[in-house]
Structure 1
């Protein structure tokens, strides 16, 4: 998970996770109690969900979908509601990548119904925030704002210091604020989205380099949507500095591609737009 936080999804991370899943599953064939077998299925499910997340972050959608299906099956075998919630959260993100926004909302709602969201408000908050993004992509402003409110309320009830899996370490006030920025920009509140992005970047921990880079790209989009082209290009360029030394994950490359398409639509003749386009193509070829 530390490797994912800094570099993002890639083949090495996926292979390592699948190796862990295979090791756990091989042990279920040994003489063991049902309780131990169930726990091994849970471990294998978590590893497989990590591999699926890596494929998702790399924008390898078909592979991510296959791995998510396997992870959900193993989570059922292990009776693990935490992995089930994790898988539905990833399904919502995969649906967004595919432009299937109704399915993204449905996946967010499925995440909300898992047993862990009733036990731990932090998981409920993430599920509501993911649903809010789905609603915003459908253009349902009221539902998006309502889901954000539920996410904030649940986060306020979450207890610090509770034992939680390492993959959940990214989520808290800073990440919810970053997700709020996405929703606000998509429902046409770009100035508020810019403010939320600044707030998020002021509190996302340094070790979450990939998340900081994504939030920075979102900040650039919010600035661009306000026609602040010079500042937006400067902000977008800083993403490359944040990810220096590592290939840019597919999900981030796609987001930067969205920025570039909006840039040439809004300011096709601006010198700074042409310069940023040259930088983008250079960095893309290196990634």
Structure 2
């Protein structure tokens, strides 16, 4: 598998990064088909590495549109039906015009710039709320990641094809950053960390252009969580410190509480018991001081409360091996979770099962593990991983017990993909 040096040089000639090429290909598909593309950074990486030697369908069309030449001129094995070369002038115009050209081609009636207003921003915010709801129900799914990234591109298309006040323009950039941060979170939750990093880089740029401190907090806080899950505690702490250093944590104790709770989880992953306990105490104090009726972004209102704080404590103390304290926070989390938090409930339940098992409470542990909803157990990467760990530990600690046999039979019959 050889690196595609021709494509790499073509990208260099046009000063395109992998993220930017993916974005340009999605714009090209919007021009060709009238709807946004779903090309990811992973697709571009496969094209460059040689893993994809003969792009077909939408990928081929997008490549040829962006570079204005057939596949064979991009270092690929092309079919004989490859599209003819595009006029170089048209190609340069496409690269320069970017999303504006794509949108006006797909929607001729909007070729004349229109005024972007509050109703457009409200429409983006409603679609963002739908993404948040999907994430809480399913979590970690590639489809959520791709949809969020496509909606971010749509917001940028809107941005580039209309006139707006500085305030509205900032809000549209903030919406694009918010969608991209949700794509980042879906990739984190699904353990697709390289893709998450790509989304993070785009989201950070958009957030800076928006000037919105709330979305900046979300992105950097997500970055801290991402690095924690990757086992990079130092990077996790540094990223989370950026979030905690924003002015909103001084103005609103609820944001301060979230920053402290996630920092406590980072301390837990680093094995620092004292710092973990201290940070959680401060996070709890900040939450008690917060005005719970204050107006906050939809993503913050949708998930952060006492139950989420306890969920982070459950994770941290489980990592530290303080299983009794972990179980205490786990039960308090489950008691306080709001009905729409399906993904969070499954994760917390699986963690409680592990905490119970490590304390030798085999039967309650098996009962907890068996109560994890099947759709989450077989689809959510984190839950699948935790239940696999549970199975391994159960076999090691209590292989011949009736409870273990019950679990193994249940796993074989119902959860074959995690058995």
CA distance in 2, matches of 1:109, 1:192: 26
Matched, 1:17 2:148: yes
State the SS of the aligned residue for 1:207. coil
Worse-superposed segment, 65-74 or 176-185: 176-185
Length, aligned pairs only: 285
Task: Give the SS at the match of 1:259.
Answer: helix
Distance change >3 Å, CA 39–CA 105, structure 1 → 2 = same
Listed one character per residue, the Cα deviations across residues 242-278 of structure 1 (whole Å, up to 9, x for unaligned) are x47x952112222223323333333344453354345
Is residue 91 from structure 1 mapped to residue 232 from structure 2 by the alignment? no
Alpha-carbon separation, structure 2, partners of 1:25 and 1:284: 43
1:208 aligns with one of 327, 341, 366: 341
- Counterpart for residue 249 of structure 1: 380
Cα offsets for 1:52-77 (capped at 9, x unmatched): 11111111111111101111111111
Match of 1:167 in 2: 299
User: Unmatched 5+ residue regions in structure 2?
Assistant: 1-131
Preserved contact between residue 7 and residue 247 of structure 1 (Cα < 8 Å): no
CA distance in 2, matches of 1:2, 1:60: 21
Structure-2 separation of matches of 1:72 and 1:188: 35
Q: Is this contact kept in 2: 1:240–1:283, CA < 8 A?
A: no
Q: 1:258 aligns with which of 389, 397, 400?
A: 389
**TM-score between both structures, scaled by the size of structure 2:** 0.64
> Which residue in 2 is equivalent to 1:62?
194
- Report the TM-score when normalising by structure 1: 0.91
State whether residues 193 and 222 of structure 1, in contact with CA within 8 Å, keep that contact through their aligned partners in structure 2: yes
Deviation at 1:32, TM superposition (A): 2.6
Deviation at 1:22, TM superposition (A): 1.1
Which residue in the other structure is 2:206 paired with?
Answer: 74
- The 3-state SS of whatever aligns with 1:239 is coil
Instruction: Return the alpha-carbon distance in structure 1 between the equivalents of residues 138 and 255 of structure 2.
Output: 24
Deviation by residue 1:136-167 (Cα, 9 ceiling, x = unmatched): 11111111011101111111111122222222
5 Å matches for 1:224-239? 224-239=357-372
RMSD (Å), alpha carbons = 2.2
Q: Does structure 2 retain, via aligned residues, the 8 Å contact 1:20–1:44?
A: yes
Q: Is this contact kept in 1: 2:240–2:259, CA < 8 A?
A: yes
Residues 217 and 236, structure 1, Cα contact 8 Å, conserved in 2 = yes
Between stretches 42-51 and 29-38, larger displacement belongs to 29-38
Residue 111 of structure 2 corresponds to which residue in structure 1? none
How much does 1:232 deviate? Answer: 0.7
- 1:36-55 to 2 correspondences below 5 Å: 36-55=168-187
What secondary structure, in the 3-state scheme, does the structure 2 residue paired with 1:202 have?
helix
- Equivalent positions of 1:143-222 (< 5 A) are 143-168=275-300, 169-222=302-355
| 2:261 corresponds to 1:129 | yes
Cα contact 1:56–1:251 (8 A) shared by 2: no
Deviation at 1:183, TM superposition (A): 2.2
Cα distance in 1 for partners of 2:157, 2:213 equals 22
- Conserved? CA contact 2:378–2:417, under 8 Å: no
| C-alpha contact 1:52 1:64 (8 A) present in aligned 2 | yes
After superposing the two structures, state which structure 1 stretch, 4-13 or 138-147, moved more. 4-13
